[in-house]
């Protein structure tokens, strides 16, 4: 299935089932994609997680209904998926900036998120360097933290976690454990709903696992490896966005189920010529 049509099919599916409990697997199925790949692609292309998009669309429609009807607030809350008046009021205020009751006043200012429409903008002003690598399964050991993608928090949480690991000496400890060419890695575990675990790790060669750390199995994969040049985290975050907005849509590969990896070279991460790499497991698209 064409990726543009697949993404639009998923959006159409969400709109048709907007008032029902959402099922991430069924939404991804409408896109002809794995759940993990679809959710990562959707987030990178739109700036929303799937859950955020659905919540924002529901709150948009709830605001319109409040301003145009006499329906009870509690009935509208239930209609748009909120179990209590309180939870609806909190979410409504966070999104619209006013309470549900205030939305009924003349000239109330309401926010609106419209139905998304996927379009492609061709770009060629910057080169995205990559190579394909076959790698056998391996195990890593390191420290992890839970990460949420809600409101784009993943970028801040990961950056703060990496900074804290550096300040706490975790990175130095990991470098001391490292005995192969991979070096220190940042690993995004498989996404579940709007969250995943992020690891700062190195290849595990056996022996005692340091206190506060744990292991993770990385399956045998074909990896697309992308080069990032520039200070962390800005440069590598830009590469991530370009992979999902430019490379995947125009390539014969799609995301395979499995962790994603960032590999960091030794050196000053703030320098303009600092190199790091993004490793993404891929598989050929089914024709």
Asked whether 203 and 180 are in contact (CB, 8 A), the reply is yes
Is the model's pLDDT at 145 over the cut of 90?
A: yes
Is 116 among the domain residues?
Answer: no
Q: Can you tell me the distance from the alpha carbon of 139 to that of 217, in angstroms, rounded to the nearest whole number?
A: 5
Is 114 among the domain residues?
Answer: no
Is the model's pLDDT at 124 over the cut of 70?
A: no
Is the model's pLDDT at 217 over the cut of 90?
A: yes
Average pLDDT, the chain: 87
Q: Can you tell me the distance from the alpha carbon of 22 to that of 56, in angstroms, rounded to the nearest whole number?
A: 13
Is the model's pLDDT at 213 over the cut of 90?
A: yes
Answer yes or no: do 100 and 154 share one domain: no
Answer yes or no: do 137 and 250 share one domain: yes
Answer yes or no: do 99 and 159 share one domain: no
Long-range CB contacts for residues 92-101, cutoff 8 Å, separation at least 24: 92/59, 92/62, 92/63, 95/55, 95/56, 95/59, 95/60, 95/63, 96/59, 96/63, 100/62, 100/66, 100/73, 100/76, 101/73
pLDDT digits (tens, 9 = 90+) for 11-64: 999 999 999 988 888 998 898 877 777 877 788 778 788 888 999 999 999 999
pLDDT at residue 151, rounded to an integer:
67
Q: Can you tell me the distance from the alpha carbon of 96 to that of 40, in angstroms, rounded to the nearest whole number?
A: 27
Is the model's pLDDT at 66 over the cut of 80?
A: yes
Is 152 among the domain residues?
Answer: yes
Is the model's pLDDT at 74 over the cut of 90?
A: yes
Is 120 among the domain residues?
Answer: no
Q: Can you tell me the distance from the alpha carbon of 149 to that of 164, in angstroms, rounded to the nearest whole number?
A: 19
| 57, two tokens | 């669309």
Q: Using CA of residue 10, residue 12, residue 15, residue 17, what is the dihedral sign?
A: negative
CA 170 to chain centre: 25
Element (H, E) at 85: helix 85-96
Q: How many distinct structural domains can be found in the chain?
A: 2
Q: Can you tell me the distance from the alpha carbon of 49 to that of 119, in angstroms, rounded to the nearest whole number?
A: 18
Answer yes or no: do 88 and 203 share one domain: no
CATH number at residue 75: 1.10.10.60
Is 109 among the domain residues?
Answer: no
Residues 76-89 have a mean pLDDT of 94
Answer yes or no: do 262 and 151 share one domain: yes
pLDDT digits (tens, 9 = 90+) for 179-190: 777 888 999 887
Answer yes or no: do 146 and 100 share one domain: no
Domain boundary (88, 104, 120) is at 104
CATH number at residue 239: 3.20.80.10
Answer yes or no: do 159 and 233 share one domain: yes
In the chain, at which residue ranges do the beta strands (DSSP E only) sit? 130-135, 138-148, 184-188, 195-203, 214-218, 221-229, 253-255, 260-264, 275-284
Residues 6 or more apart whose Cβ sits within 8 Å of residue 182 = 202, 203, 263
| Half-sphere exposure at residue 58, Cβ-oriented, CA atoms within 13 angstroms | 23
Domain boundary (63, 89, 104) is at 104
Reported as a pLDDT band with limits 50, 70 and 90, residue 2 is: low
Answer yes or no: do 213 and 144 share one domain: yes
Q: What is the DSSP string of 33-93?
A: S-HHHHHHHHHHHHSS-HHHHHHHHHHHHHHHHHHH----HHHHHHHTT-SSHHHHHHHHH
Domain boundary (66, 87, 104) is at 104
Residues 262-281 have a mean pLDDT of 90
pLDDT at residue 123, rounded to an integer:
59
Is the model's pLDDT at 1 over the cut of 50?
A: no
Is 253 among the domain residues?
Answer: yes
Q: Nearest-CA neighbor of 222 among 287, 131, 127? A: 131
Q: Can you tell me the distance from the alpha carbon of 5 to that of 13, in angstroms, rounded to the nearest whole number?
A: 12
Q: Can you tell me the distance from the alpha carbon of 227 to that of 279, in angstroms, rounded to the nearest whole number?
A: 9
Q: Nearest-CA neighbor of 162 among 214, 242, 241, 231? A: 231
| 114, two tokens | 């419209």
Answer yes or no: do 184 and 239 share one domain: yes
Is the model's pLDDT at 122 over the cut of 60?
A: no
pTM over the 0.85 mark:
no
- Could you tell me the residue range of the domain that residue 266 belongs to? 130-284
Is 122 among the domain residues?
Answer: no
Q: Is the backbone of residue 199 left (phi > 0), alpha (psi -120 to 50) or beta?
A: beta
Answer yes or no: do 70 and 165 share one domain: no
3-state secondary structure of 152: helix
Answer yes or no: do 169 and 66 share one domain: no
Residues 237-254 have a mean pLDDT of 83
Answer yes or no: do 31 and 163 share one domain: no
Is 112 among the domain residues?
Answer: no
């Amino acid at each position: 299935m064409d990726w543009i049509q697949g993404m639009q099919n998923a959006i159409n599916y969400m709109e048709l089932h907007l008032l029902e409990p959402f099922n991430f697997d069924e939404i991804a199925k409408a896109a002809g994609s794995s759940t993990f790949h679809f959710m990562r692609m959707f987030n990178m292309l739109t700036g929303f997680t799937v859950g955020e998009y659905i919540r924002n669309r529901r709150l948009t429609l709830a605001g319109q209904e409040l301003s145009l009807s006499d329906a009870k607030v509690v009935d509208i809350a239930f209609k748009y998926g909120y179990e209590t008046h309180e939870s609806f009021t909190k979410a409504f205020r966070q999104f619209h900036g006013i309470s549900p009751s205030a939305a009924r006043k003349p000239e109330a200012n309401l926010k609106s998120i419209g139905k998304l429409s996927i379009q492609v903008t061709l770009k060629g002003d910057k080169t995205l360097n990559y190579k394909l690598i076959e790698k056998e399964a391996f195990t890593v050991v390191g420290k992890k933290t839970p990460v949420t993608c809600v409101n784009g928090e993943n970028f801040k949480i990961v950056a703060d976690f990496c900074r804290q690991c550096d300040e706490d000496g975790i990175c130095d400890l990991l470098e001391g454990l490292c005995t192969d060419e991979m070096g220190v890695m940042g690993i995004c575990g498989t996404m579940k709903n709007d969250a995943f675990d992020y690891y700062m790790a190195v290849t595990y060669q056996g022996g005692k696992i340091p206190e506060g750390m744990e292991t993770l199995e990385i399956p045998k994969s074909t990896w697309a490896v992308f080069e990032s040049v520039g200070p962390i985290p800005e440069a590598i975050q830009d590469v991530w966005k370009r992979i999902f907005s430019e490379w995947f849509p125009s390539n014969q590969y799609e995301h395979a189920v499995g962790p994603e990896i960032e590999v960091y070279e030794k050196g000053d991460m703030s320098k303009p010529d600092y190199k790091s790499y993004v490793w993404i497991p891929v598989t050929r698209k089914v024709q």
